Amino acid sequence: MTTAHLPDVRRHILDVAHPLLLAKGFTAVGLAELLAAARVPKGSFYHYFASKEAFGEAMLETYFDECHAKIDGLLGGSGTAAERLMAYFDDWLTSQTDEHAQSRCLVVKLGAEVSDLSEPMRAALDRGTRAVTARLAATLAAGAQDGSLPTLPDPAGTATALYQNWLGASLLAKILRDRAPLDTAMAQTRTLLGLG
């Protein structure tokens, strides 16, 4: 199928770019490589994205849209708030130790790289991560209400600390090529939440 017959060329470009960016990072993926992989002409790219930076911002927004939908499914499922929260962290652990690069965290891969390069991309990361921690904070508060989690003096602060811990563990797991930091993050999470 040629790109002219694709129902959504913009989405196709973003889908093809995702594994490339996870493998190489933002600056290492040149426009020519991306266009060749997506099999779209340069004009098609610029029809959808004003610049590579605008493409990067769209890539992050799309990533977070999908991430938030997945989180909403996990945190909005059945069971106690504690069970739903642990399902989220179980999923994080699995996705970061899975052999499929597509499942890895784009925030870990691109966060430090693009935050200094592009204010719009940094802002997209900021909006996306704040939305994640807000969802976690709401689930922590729900856990206090249903009795499955302790009442925390600052659910938003705890949610931010948990997210930071897991981001750091994911980065260390990449550096060490070892899942041990993620296992430690899981143990710390269970302890912090009083889940033994």
* Token couple for 196: 């033994």
Q: Is residue 94 part of a domain?
A: yes
Q: Is residue 170 part of a domain?
A: yes
Q: What are phi and psi of 100, to 5 degrees?
A: -85, 115
Q: Is residue 161 part of a domain?
A: yes
Q: Is residue 43 part of a domain?
A: no
Considering only 79-83, 127-131, 169-173, which range has the smallest mean pLDDT? 169-173
Q: Is residue 109 part of a domain?
A: yes
Mean pLDDT, rounded, for 96-100? 77
Mean pLDDT, rounded, for 140-163? 97
pLDDT in tens, 82-92: 999 999 999 99
Rounded CA separation 88/38 (Å): 32
pLDDT in tens, 54-84: 999 999 999 999 999 999 999 999 999 999 9
Instruction: Answer yes or no: are the C-beta atoms of 194 and 149 closer than 8 Å.
Output: yes
Instruction: Return the CATH number at 75.
Output: 1.10.357.10
Most confident of 41-50, 94-103, 146-155: 146-155
In terms of Cβ atoms closer than 10 Å to its own Cβ (0-12, 13-18, 19+), residue 32 is exposed
Instruction: Answer yes or no: are the C-beta atoms of 12 and 4 closer than 8 Å.
Output: no
Question: Per DSSP, which regions of 57-185 are E strands?
Answer: none
* Token couple for 188: 């710390």
User: According to the model, what pLDDT value does residue 6 have?
Assistant: 53
In terms of Cβ atoms closer than 10 Å to its own Cβ (0-12, 13-18, 19+), residue 40 is buried
User: Structurally, how many domains does the chain consist of?
Assistant: 1
Q: Is residue 101 part of a domain?
A: yes
Domain of residue 132, residue span: 52-192
Q: How far is CA 190 from CA 15, 94, 114, 128, in A?
A: 35, 16, 32, 24
Q: Is residue 31 part of a domain?
A: no
Q: Is residue 164 part of a domain?
A: yes
User: According to the model, what pLDDT value does residue 44 have?
Assistant: 85
